[in-house]
Chain A
């Protein structure tokens, strides 16, 4: 699967976000090997240095790690993944509620709406 990048924003931050989503959403499993930089850059259609920069940032965040000869892997730290996932969900919900509040929609209304629309999605 290939993300589409918004060229108005720095590409590397979008690559970081995309990988976070893949890891937190379970698309990339803990301990799974990540493709080499050049291969990924080709597949995503981005500059290899930009991709390297994104990888370094994900390593700093602890989501990826490098084993000297074997390559790059997704972290095995499932607690870290779980807590970052909670954090991301909280951010999305807060943003969602803030936007609804700005439109005069109460939290109770929001719950009701989620039930209505959620039902449609689950079906």
Chain B
């Protein structure tokens, strides 16, 4: 096993009486694209918030490139939140400037190029953009950093199926060589071909974990089909 970029060990998180995460453990090595899959409310965002130091009161151990989630780890992790996290009165180019000042690994020229490709208007305010356009902007901001780990929380939830290919190729084209991606989603059919590994999260617990290609040959089924069986209502 090569370098471990993300180590999650026996992590549990409780909201009142509700166990949002229970004993979750997995590792992500270098150069992997990992799908964090589960229906709404399965704990995906809670886990991602812990990795990104937005939730501190959890049990267990998390290590990002050797650091506990915090100031140091944030320099190495590029995070795409599931909700718009920037003030909506900012214009798109002001948002770029903000990222450029904040993150030393941000590549402004790359970001401009990506906005052109994805046809996001730079002079508009974020609040004037459609939900799909806002998602594309956040994706550009996230992928224009040269990070060790990219954590993408539902990057394709708001875009139409026709734009998904474009989003995926943007991700595949822009992550740094040797870095890894943790991508959470509940829409699997259009994205499953990009995963090395998948983690099924069910009611806060890891239900299935493995290499996507191995699972396909083992079960003779797509990851999407497996997902539908595990999470059948």
Query: Which residues of A are at the interface with B, using a C-beta cutoff of 8 A?
Result: 5-12, 38, 41-43, 45-50, 53
| Contact status of A42 and B169, CB under 8 A, knowing A8-B220, A10-B213 | yes
| Contact status of A9 and B216, CB under 8 A, knowing A45-B168, A45-B169 | yes
Within B10-43, the residues touching A (CB, 8 Å) are: 31-33
20 A-B Cβ contacts within 8 A? A7-B192, A7-B222, A7-B224, A7-B225, A8-B216, A8-B220, A8-B222, A10-B217, A11-B193, A11-B216, A38-B172, A38-B173, A45-B169, A47-B33, A47-B194, A47-B195, A49-B32, A50-B193, A50-B196, A53-B213
Nearest-neighbour CB distance to chain A for B156, whole angstroms, equals: 13
A43 and chain B: residue at smallest CB distance: B169
Instruction: Judge whether A47 and B223 touch: CB under 8 Å.
Output: no
Query: Which residues of B are at the interface with A, using a C-beta cutoff of 8 A?
Result: 31-33, 165, 168-169, 172-173, 189, 192-196, 212-213, 216-217, 220-225
Expressed in whole angstroms, the Cα–Cα distance for A6 and B221 within the complex equals 10
Residues on A with C-beta less than 8 A from B189 are 7
Instruction: Judge whether B172 and A42 touch: CB under 8 Å.
Output: yes
Instruction: Judge whether B216 and A47 touch: CB under 8 Å.
Output: no
| Contact status of A42 and B173, CB under 8 A, knowing A7-B189, A10-B216, A47-B193 | yes
Majority secondary structure of chain B interface residues (helix, strand, loop or mixed): helix
Instruction: Judge whether B173 and A8 touch: CB under 8 Å.
Output: no
Instruction: Judge whether A7 and B223 touch: CB under 8 Å.
Output: yes
Instruction: Judge whether A47 and B196 touch: CB under 8 Å.
Output: yes
A46 and chain B: residue at smallest CB distance: B193
Instruction: Judge whether B195 and A45 touch: CB under 8 Å.
Output: no
Residues on A with C-beta less than 8 A from B222 are 6-8
Residues on B with C-beta less than 8 A from A5 are 193
Residues on B with C-beta less than 8 A from A48 are 31, 33, 172
Give the 10 A-B residue pairs with the shortest CB-CB distance, closest first.
Answer: A7-B222, A42-B172, A46-B193, A42-B169, A10-B213, A8-B222, A42-B173, A10-B216, A47-B194, A10-B217
Nearest-neighbour CB distance to chain A for B219, whole angstroms, equals: 9
Nearest-neighbour CB distance to chain A for B178, whole angstroms, equals: 11
Nearest-neighbour CB distance to chain A for B3, whole angstroms, equals: 15
B224 and chain A: residue at smallest CB distance: A7
Instruction: Judge whether B173 and A11 touch: CB under 8 Å.
Output: no
The 8 Å CB contact of A49, one of B196, B216, B225, is B196
Instruction: Judge whether A41 and B172 touch: CB under 8 Å.
Output: yes
Residues on A with C-beta less than 8 A from B169 are 42-43, 45
Expressed in whole angstroms, the Cα–Cα distance for A12 and B216 within the complex equals 11
Expressed in whole angstroms, the Cα–Cα distance for A105 and B31 within the complex equals 53
Instruction: Judge whether B213 and A11 touch: CB under 8 Å.
Output: yes
B215 and chain A: residue at smallest CB distance: A10
Residues on A with C-beta less than 8 A from B32 are 49
